[in-house]
Amino acid sequence: MMLYLIPVALLGLIFGSFFNVVIYRTPIFLEGKLNKKKQPSLLKQLTWPASFCTNCKTKIKWFDNIPILSWLSLKGRCRLCHKTIKIRYCIVELLTALIFSYSFLKFGFSYTAIYWIALFSILLLLFFIDSETFYLPDIFTFTLILLALVGSYLEITQITFLDSLIGGLIGFFVLYATNFLYKTVRNTDGFGAGDFKLLAGLGAWLGWPSLLIIIGISSVLALLFISLMTLFMKRKYQRNTMLPFGPFLILSGLIMYANTYINFRLFQAYL
């Protein structure tokens, strides 16, 4: 099996390069849709034009588009305009390679491995899109919910289909109700609708008993992030400051995954 690990990781790097395109272009498509601009379909926008520098719009040559290596060789800057290229491009490619490698090592060449690659990839896309743009696109949150339900129905996950279904419903309505009460008091939203669907997906994936822990951990992570940014980056957060909550929910979900599937028994007594 180890013989095939290198080509699997390389395939992950290639998909990671494409995921960077998805992370950059999907919010642009959504912005155009919100502003009712006439534009090509999302699929067409993801496939054309070829990769280009987001600063000078110059088409990137193939030798500058090699995952990780090109970013390192260029020291994180465009060859032509010398503007900084986000390190996110390198991180996404590396994480995608890790997703492919982990799924292959754990499940081998199987439909189960493809399932987990798809699920983790959706979480990866949602994490970075929300981090940068505050969007949690329906195309990905609904796919997450569907994958979670299918996984429980086919017994790929360790959650029964009933627990998965209940988890999805409770996950959606607990944030919906919280936001409704917050909006009633403050006349503004506390959460975005995408957060409702994301938590629904996590509840469907990990089961309804995990929801309380996911919400608790994500809240602690958000507070810790604000504290660190305030202390070290000197950023000031007010009550009306927007903060993407999706990444913290996803990190919490991954912690619960580790607890359930990798014997990382932090919450065994509760579960």
Question: Dihedral of CA 48/143/246/218: which sign?
Answer: negative
**Would you call 61 helix, strand, or coil by DSSP?**
coil
**Would you call 84 helix, strand, or coil by DSSP?**
strand
DSSP per-residue string spanning 64-78? G-STTHHHHHTTTB-
* DSSP letter assigned to residue 267: S
pLDDT digits (tens, 9 = 90+) for 144-202: 999 999 999 999 998 999 999 999 999 999 999 988 898 888 888 778 889 999 999 99
Closest by CA to 131, choosing from 88, 178, 183, is 88
HSE-up (13 A, CA, CB side) for residue 86: 15
- What pLDDT tens digit does each residue of the chain (271 aa) get? 667 889 999 999 999 999 999 999 999 888 887 777 777 777 888 888 788 877 888 888 878 788 899 888 888 888 888 888 889 999 999 999 999 999 999 998 899 999 999 999 999 999 999 999 999 999 999 999 999 999 999 999 989 999 999 999 999 999 999 888 988 888 887 788 899 999 999 999 999 999 999 999 999 999 998 888 887 776 776 666 678 899 999 999 999 998 877 655 555 555 5
- What is the rounded distance in angstroms from the CA atom of residue 191 to the CA atom of residue 180? 9
Q: Where are the domains positioned within the chain? A: 1-109, 131-271
Contact assessment for residue 29 and residue 42, using Cβ atoms and an 8 Å cutoff: yes
Radius of gyration of the chain (CA): 20
